Amino acid sequence: MKGKNPAFVRKWLLGVAKTRGIFFIPEEAFTPYGAMIKTCLCIFEKLKEGEIANDEEPVFLCEVENLGYEATGKPKAGSEVTEAISAFHEQAGWK
């Protein structure tokens, strides 16, 4: 079945968008909701008409270790979320 093949998704994405950034999120991010899974937040920019994705363009990569709450959902000091977003805007030059 085509829809369950990750290669199909990658190929489709290359045809419609370019990857601007990937944020790696800690496993405990969704623990309060019953899930313990590694997560990545991917930021894409839709290609303009006639534009082709370029594999040579840099992609912003960021590992966010502190989301501002513990695995139980309790608030935790030292959130890195705002810093990660600022770094993305600075380095990726989002337009």
pTM value surpassing 0.95? no
Residue type for position 18: K
Tokens of 72: 């139980």
CB of 42 within 8 A of CB of 21?
Answer: yes
Give the tens place of pLDDT for each residue, 37-70.
Answer: 889 999 999 999 998 888 788 899 999 999 998 8
CB atoms within 10 A of CB 53: 15
The tokens 């999120």 sit on which residue? 25
Q: Per-residue pLDDT tens for 2-26?
A: 556 788 888 888 889 999 999 999 9
Query: Would you list the domain boundaries of the chain?
Result: 18-92
